[in-house]
Amino acid sequence: MEVPRYWRLQKQRYALVGEICPHCQVKIFPPRDVCPECGGEAKQPFSFSGKGTVFSFTTMYDAPKGFEMNTPYTVALVKLEEGPVVTAQLTDLGEQPVEIGMPVEMVTRRIREDEEDKGIIVYGYKFRPVMAGTH
């Protein structure tokens, strides 16, 4: 990933910062400055809670470039509590089987590394099964 692009996307990738539409109150992720619901201008940042459920998922055995070292890994469509659906890796599954409807929570993790040990480390959101004791 190019460094400037990574830097531009940092806020949304590190902490699920999207937008809220000041006209119709819809929560928007990823941020796009125009509300997909009402078409109004929406630039007000909104931090998502990170809570959601697995809408659907698949397991990757043949990974795209930059992700080869992590196979096999699970990618899911996660429906956030506030509405939007995001695509993200699931992590910290251990022996836990993934199920549709499973409650998950956002964590910030290493997504990939560029140029082996020389490039930048790309951090971003993943989701894990909700931890016991989380309130």
Partner 1 sequence: METASEKSESLALKPDRPVGIIGYGAYVPRYRLPATQVARLWSGEGEGDLPVKEKSVAGLDEDVATMSIEAARNALSRAGISPSALRAVWVGSESHPYAVKPTSTIVAEAIGATPYIQAGDWEFACKAGTEALVAAIGLVGSGMGRYALAIGMDIAQGQPGDALEYTAASGGAAYVIGPADESLAVIEATFSYVTDTPDFWRRAHQVYPSHGQRFTGEPAYFKHISNAAQTLMESLGTKPADYRYAVFHQPNTRFPQMVGKRLGFSDEQIKPGLLSPVIGNTYAGAALIGLSAVLDVASPGDCILVTSYGSGAGSDAMHICVTSAIEERRSRAPLTRDYIARRSEIDYATYARYRGKIRMK
Q: Rank residues 79 and 128 by Cβ distance to partner 1 and give the closer one.
A: 128
**Residues present in the chain in total:** 135
Q: Is 59 in the site for partner 1 (CB under 8 A)?
A: no
Q: Is 123:12 a contact under the CB 8 Å cutoff?
A: no
> Cis peptide before 45, with omega less than 30 degrees from 0?
no
Q: Is 15 in the site for partner 1 (CB under 8 A)?
A: yes
Q: Is 9 in the site for partner 1 (CB under 8 A)?
A: no
**What SS3 state is found at 7?**
helix
Q: Is 126 in the site for partner 1 (CB under 8 A)?
A: yes
Identify the sign of the CA torsion 108, 113, 117, 119. negative
Name the one range near partner 1 by CB under 8 A: 27-35, 56-64, 76-84, 118-126: 118-126
The CA distance from 55 to 62, in Å, is 22
CB of 39 to partner 1, least distance (A): 29
CB of 34 to partner 1, least distance (A): 24
**What SS3 state is found at 128?**
strand
Q: Is 23:35 a contact under the CB 8 Å cutoff?
A: yes
Site string for partner 1, 71-110 (x = CB under 8 A): ------------------x-xx-xx-----------xxxx
Site residues (CB under 8 A) for partner 1?
10-11, 14-15, 17, 47, 69-70, 89, 91-92, 94-95, 107-111, 121, 123, 126, 131-135
